[in-house]
Structure 1
Amino acid sequence: MERKLIFMPRVFSSLFFALALSACGDAAMNFPVTKAGQAQLDGVTIIRLDQTYSGGADTLHSGHAVTNLPAVRRSEYRIGAGDVISIFVFDQPELAVPTSAETVTTGYLVRSDGNLTFPFIGTVEARGRAVEDLRLELVRRLSEFFPEPQVDVRVAEFASQKVVVGGEVAAPNTQFVQTSSLTLLEAINAAGGLKKDADTKAISIRRGGQNYRVDLEGFLSGSVAQNNPVLAGGDVVSVPRKTIREAYLLGEISKPSTVDLTETPLSLTQALSRQGGLDDLRADARGVFVFREIDGKTTVFQLDTSNPEGYLIGTRFALRPMDVIYVTRAPIQRWNDAISRFLPSVNATRAVRNL
């Protein structure tokens, strides 16, 4: 019996010593970033979300990223090889369009070398020139043969600058850039419009050997004007099929699950609310973390929701597909979990000693 009495205090002493250490550690627990700003921990960037944080698109409720496709200026059309140019000289019937290998019924063909041939003056460089520039050149050179020639120049057929539109559109086709600039939305409409399963948030434009992502939905929603870019000759537009985009909510949340970001962007606060919010008994409201991969590296956003201001900040933080939201356990819950792990051992020891 004496041996039993000595043994049991040692067990309880060890138990409460471990629990005391756990409680002290939890009570003094510091999160990676305790003030405004960011820090590095084991190669991971940790950013605290508060009123001073400004993270560009990450804080926009719309969640629409601005495309990095280089802008094309809305400028005059430049003639290119394959275009057919209509040239009419008033009161000069002998300059009517002849029929030859270098002409078609509607005008003069710009050859592969960028030139066209016109009666009396011969070869004229056309490629890369604006229509008005070419007209002035013809007037100057025809003035050597006719007094004050009146010349009208137009592009009769556009064939030098092509844009290909494919993917989830009703009628994939090839379009030609004309005198008026061709925007992405106009090109898609000219291809019969979008199919039901088209993903307007991830349209790809290939230009100069490089692919650029364009979130057209950002333009359609009225928030990002740059996401309806002017297309350039040679662009290839591909509209992908819509796939499910999700973010993941884990840890001490009432209903850990996924949230669908396919159709509608969600803020961090919205996502937490849809899953019932934080677990009142287990969650540490100070420890809401969003894990996100940026340029191949992990970035963690840290939010304190222990007061209403935290949830307000969360309404301005837009989630992205593949984000992982994790809510840590509260210190008191860690205490309870520790007790629940030790008690079976204590009870088992009691049962053995009572035999």
Structure 2
Amino acid sequence: MLTAEREKFFALLGDADEPGATRFVLGLFDNGVPPEHLLLDLVAPVQVKVGEYWATNRWSVAKEHAATHISECVVAALSTRTPVPPTRGHVVVSCMDGEWHALAARLVAEVLRLRGWRTTFLGASVPAAHLVSYLHQEGPDAVALSCALPVRLPHAHRMVETCQRTGVPVLVGGRGFGPDGRWARVLGAAGWAPGAREAADLLERRWPPPDLPHPELDHLVDDEYPTLVKRREELVDLALAALRREFPAMARYEERRLEATVEDLCHLADFLSAAVYVQDSVLFTDFLSWMCTVLAARHVPPTSLTIPLRTYWEALYDFPRARGHLEAGLRLVETGRAGLS
């Protein structure tokens, strides 16, 4: 659906043509395309493509930011053209604390509004204490929390827990909870939806759920996760030193590329910690598969991943769960199943 229109809209975003992109989408609306289709079958998939172009080094960060800003402006313009009186309950939509990817959550809020819900969109990175205070004041029927990156799951757990203590059931969504919502169940969220349509359908069909799930986090009784978080800087320093010794290309890195390498090593440590938190190697290996795609686009060989993975494994000799996730990651990279040649 809207295949040709997606190509046109993507081209307008690539040209940073905000007026043109807005006129194009509003023109489709004036010609009878339903607003929900424009949001979810045009803006959303094109924004995914924008992210892919950034990840594979075809677009700069600046170009991606400009495109995202235009998409947000288009959504706002479409919202002003589609007033819908609320006929259902009140839903608060927010991003997790530390989650700055707000467009997906905004799309959820807009679809719920179009379906007749009274929606309040709080935007990106809302601190848990402020969100809970707002829930106490407003007493909504549900709070919908968005998380784009699984590295934020420990924060997500705290937010889900504190929100549900107010008596407001929590619906979560976003790629951060896994493609099948498996980590939403682990954290004890009342419901999970893969997208805005599914979120709206779930709220219309059965809300609140009769029984709230219990978090599946008994493994956190040990101190492996908090200790791993404390050792993050040490692990990054060890991996960087190992790369300098064993990866000769590092000697030719300019400052910007060296900073990107340090950032990648931090991501490795953070995603490893998140995998330990939810006790699932898939979280870590999925990130490594994505990382391999990014490195391939930068023409960086897989050695640059195996060296830090082995370094972390050696340093964490008394961390059995973290070591298990690292071993799964090493198998993925070394056997080429991450799409590397």
TM range (shorter): under 0.3
Provide the TM-score with structure 2 as the length reference. Answer: 0.21
In proportion to residue count, which structure has more helix? 2
Whose RCO is larger (CA < 8 A, sep 6+)?
Answer: 1
Provide the TM-score with structure 1 as the length reference. Answer: 0.21
